[in-house]
Structure 1
Amino acid sequence: MTLSHISPDEIRARFARAMSGMYRAEVPAYGTLVSLVAAVNAGTLATDPAEKARLDALGEFDRISEERHGAIRLGTAEELATMRRLFAVMGMVPVGYYDLSVAGVPVHSTAFRPIDPASLAKNPFRVFTSLLRLDLIADEALRAEAAEVLEARRIYTPRCLDLIAKAEAEGGLSEADAQAFVAEALETFRWHAEANVTQALYRRLHDAHRLVADVVSFKGPHINHLTPRTLDIDAVQARMPGEGIAPKAVIEGPPSRKVPILLRQTSFKALEEAVDFLSDGTNAPGSHTARFGEIEQRGLALTPKGQALYDRLLAETRAKATPKADGSNAAEYVAALEDTFAAFPDDLETLRLEGYGYFRYSPVGDATEADLSRSAAELVAAGMLRADPITYEDFLPVSAAGIFQSNLGDGAAQAFAANPNRARFEEDLGAPVTDLHQLYAEAEAASLARARADLARAVA
């Protein structure tokens, strides 16, 4: 990248703002949601100045109001491989592999996001990107028809493809090209009310799985939700009805805790939108339901040990009660979740000392007497180091499937056998996905090394 090139971080920030503006215009309830989250966040920080100071100290305060994640669903390997190249222009790489077949959804996924801590602080825009798995659809003839429709569509503008190639060849984009790229890339994510299929084929796809119909039937992978980050998801959930927004009955993820962990998500019901299908001689009016609004609260990134405990407790909870999309057993599920997760430590010191979570270290206090041979835990106890939780930047497959199903209906949950195929996904992607635990472990280790070096200089 030359001095005349716009940084990937800046292009990403511009694209995220453009996407948010487009989605606000297409789905007005999303704008209401963003305003509600901003009000809740302001109230939370007003009553908790210590948390505001902590976020300021870590450089995370400014990013929260801008933070968004989106989600798209792609149909072919070619679409996925090109999407990887498109996001690379914005400094976003594929992190993690998610098999949603375990929860009855015929896709597997990754999350495109920045990975450098400085880039995350500037703008942590993420896009959860799923690839349809037609191999999980039993009807062989329907699979062939769907594949034919998908192969014929082109979801990227020619100008967008040219700019991706130019960025790759020249190591970046100029100001004019960056502006053009944001505008052209946005077209891929725009809603199109004109379908690629007849209503009869749409119904067959819909009957196979509602998500299959969403992916196959349209000209492009319309962004199906954008998600602002809140500091108190329970407050947002409680206030949504007062804003004229009906939330899903159950917040996905762990229960409410003193120390938030991983990711909690809720959403409002998907819109029913008018669709013009290809003529089959009847020209009957049609509709489609897919796009919704979502809110998330992010907490401590868990180590493999912590993730294993989370997964075990969630499985135990769902063995007692699995939340239904209509919310009819919400109270039963929440009670089971809270009861089961009482076994998960809920204070920062235990989480850190027993290795359940990742932490970022920084030097504090008077280091002149510091014994740098001591462990990180001993230096924290001695007041030489500060340990702050590293924010979880990724996703949870069961939660993602739960959000999908709450907006697609109970009938969307089908009995697919767990069928992970990371090797095939990476082949279609054209690159390996980054291991998220490696990223968090490296961030923790790097922060500790820097903190020890800073202490050493102070002692010297």
Structure 2
Amino acid sequence: MSEMYQKEVPLYGDLIDLVGEVNAEVLSQQPDIKQQLEHTGEIDRLNMERHGAIRLGTAAELSMMRRLFAVMGMYPVGYYDLAPAGVPVHSTAFRAIDTQSLNNSPFRVFTSLLRLDLIDDETLKQEAITALDKRTIFTDNVISLIERFEEEGGLAAEDAKQFVKEALETFRWHDNTPVSKALYQQLLAQHGLIADVVGFKGPHINHLTPRTLDIDAVQAGMQAKGIPPKAIIEGPPKRECPILLRQTSFKALEEAVNFKNPEGGYETGHHTARFGEIEQRGVALTPKGRALYDKLLNQARHQLGVTPNADNASEYYQILERSFEAFPDDYQTLHDEGLAYFYYQAADDAEISCADTELALDHFEPKSLDVDYVNDALAKQTITDLLQQGMIRLEPIVYEDFLPVSAAGIFQSNLHDSNEQEEQNGEQNSKQRSDKGQANKEAFENALGAQVYDELELYQTLQTQSLKACLAQLNSTVLDSNALDSSA
């Protein structure tokens, strides 16, 4: 998919090169970051890590897309409603759900379903429904291979290769559209995203996103290389200990397209939607941490008073940094205050010989290490003692998911046909649309044909499992040490 998109959007290739240069520099100059990535297993996945984004038009498309991604071990995680931010979709992210699978295949696809109920014009809504009902976005062969996977529990090597080839056709760009220019312009007037979904043959990739270790350096590098960057880096401010997700992009390309003529043939036009994005990922936050993040972000935006844009970028960053002074910026405090999720790992050079340590570890043995137990006071004290003794270390669990406000900001700045004022007027549009549709997770899951995974539960599970494995390793070391002492 990345190779295909690089051919379709050559500027994306320049972006990949820039991110590679920045990451190499960070790893060479900041050995602590390199060591952290080695401890969490992320170092090997860094250069291949990507997320993409697609937009679907119907429940049937979403359901089949779920089945397609399941072949690759990718499952729907999280529910995102972007309507309150003026974007008429709700979404999930398809990705792997355990640490080993994420490190082996660090790919995510943010997948949105168009909310046609947010189209005001009933006639236009029916035309959009008719256009979507006419299209088929999956090849017959890929559907057959999906069914074979479901029946047999896997695919043979040759079938897997064919599956990749056939699946790519779903995400390929097509410059001949199935709708007239007049209908496209009506859809565009309603919202750029509606035109992008309804007006084309299928859910072309609208961006692919490499992961950088320093998004501020990439933002500056884009400007230096003549790649037009988005004005605002979405998400939290720059920090010593990154949290959640920061994103930026180069602005969407204006691409030539051919609109279907009702009389036969095509007429030329253009479309603006596809772009390149960059992300920097930090530690995943607990519900308590996420509540503090949302509070501080909303506080900063309220103080700014308007949607962040090119004209107020400097002022916004200053306000944002001041606001986030209330968010602790070291991993130990984030852990101790229950603001973020961490892996617990046995220290490489831990010397486990004292009876006090053995006694502390025994405290965990009879229990099942469920969430409630790990959070009880005595267990917390034991963990604190082991951390202070240097027996175990903390490593941040990387945030694998997305932020609705950031996603909306990226979408709004890259969807509009020569209409840059939309980014500046985003707040007004948000207020106008927010009362037209409330989050409807149940409807989304009905269309999906499955429930979405709760991302916070997944992070909690990873943390709990890491603690259990860490303590088991320490106990095993203690037992081995005691056995040697006895034999001596």
Q: What are the equivalent positions in structure 2 for 1:39-438 lying under 5 Å apart?
A: 39-280=21-262, 284-321=267-304, 324=307, 327-364=310-347, 365-369=350-354, 370=357, 371-372=360-361, 373=363, 375-408=382-415, 409-411=420-422, 413=426, 414=429, 415-417=432-434, 419-438=438-457
Per mean C-alpha deviation after superposition, the further-off stretch among 85-94 and 374-383 is 374-383
- Rounded to whole Å, the distance in 2 between the matches of 1:262 and 1:216 is 32
Letter in 1 for 2:85: A
- Report the residue type matching 1:108 in the other structure: H
Structure 1 residues 455 and 326, CA, compared in 2 at 3 Å: closer, same or farther? closer
Question: How far apart are 1:54 and its partner, in Å?
Answer: 2.2
1:411-436: per-residue Cα shift (whole Å, max 9, x none)? 37422116100000000000000000
Give the letter aligned to residue 25 of structure 1.
K
| RMSD, aligned CA | 1.3
* Alpha-carbon contact 2:39-2:395 (below 8 Å) kept: no
SS in 2 for 1:45: helix
Report deviation, 1:326: 5.3
User: What does the per-residue CA deviation read over 1:228-258, in whole Å, with 9 as the maximum and x for residues that have no partner?
Assistant: 0000000000110222201111100000001
- How many Å apart are 1:65 and its aligned residue? 0.4
Partner SS for 1:195: coil
Work out the CA distance in 1 between the residues paired with 2:22 and 2:465: 34
- Larger gyration radius, structure 1 or structure 2: 2
Where does structure 1 lack aligned partners over 5 or more consecutive residues?
1-18
Tell me if the contact between 1:80 and 1:429 (Cα under 8 Å) persists in the aligned partners.
yes
Displacement of 1:325 in angstroms is 7.2
Conserved in 2, the CA contact under 8 Å of 1:326 and 1:406? no
> Match of 1:242, as an amino acid?
A
**Which stretch of structure 1 is more off in the superposition, 446-455 or 47-56?**
47-56
Structure 1 distance, partners of 2:344, 2:304, is 39
Equivalence for 1:449: 468
**1:147-170 Cα distance to aligned partner (Å, 9 max, x none):** 110011000000000000000001
For the 8 Å contact 2:308–2:316, the answer to whether it is kept is no
Matches of 1:32 and 1:322, distance apart in 2: 36
Map 1:18-29 → 2, pairs under 5 A: 19-29=1-11
User: Does the CA contact (< 8 Å) of 2:234 and 2:247 recur in 1?
Assistant: yes
Aligned pair count reads 442
SS where residue 344 of structure 2 aligns? strand
Q: Identity over the aligned pairs, expressed in percent?
A: 58
Offset at residue 336 of structure 1 (A): 1.4
Paired with 2:275 and 2:128, the residues of 1 have a C-alpha distance of: 24
Q: Is the 8 A contact 1:325 1:410 kept in 2?
A: no
Moved more, 277-286 or 250-259: 277-286
2:92 counterpart SS class: strand
CA shift digits 1:167-189 (9 cap, x unpaired): 00010011100000000000000
TM-score, scaled relative to structure 1:
0.94
**How big is the shift at 1:330?**
1.1
Larger CA deviation: 209-218 vs 43-52:
43-52
- Classify the secondary structure of the residue corresponding to 1:61: coil
SS of 2:44's equivalent? Answer: helix
Q: SS state of the match for residue 78, structure 2? A: strand
Paired AA for residue 388 in structure 1: E
Distance of 2:110 and 2:434 partners within structure 1: 22
Structure-1 separation of matches of 2:262 and 2:308? 33
Query: What is the deviation of 1:342?
Result: 1.1
C-alpha change, 1:322 and 1:390, in structure 2 (3 Å) is farther
Distance 1:61 1:450 in 2: 21
Residues 228 and 295 of structure 1 are in contact (CA less than 8 Å); yes or no, is this contact kept in structure 2? yes
Cα 1:360/1:192, change in 2 over 3 Å: same
Question: What CA deviation, in whole Å up to 9, does each residue of 1:289-344 have, x standing for no partner?
Answer: 00000000000000000000011111111112266575121112112111111111
Aligned-partner residue type, residue 434 of structure 2: A
Is there any run of 5+ residues in structure 2 with no aligned partner, and where? 364-380, 480-488
Change (3 A) 1:161 1:107: same
One-letter amino acid matched to 1:334:
Y
Cα distance in 2 for partners of 1:228, 1:333 equals: 25
Q: Are the structure 2 counterparts of residues 410 and 105 from structure 1 closer, same or farther at C-alpha, using a change threshold of 3 Å?
A: farther
Aligned residue identity for 1:382? Q
Q: Shift in Å at residue 286 of structure 1?
A: 0.5
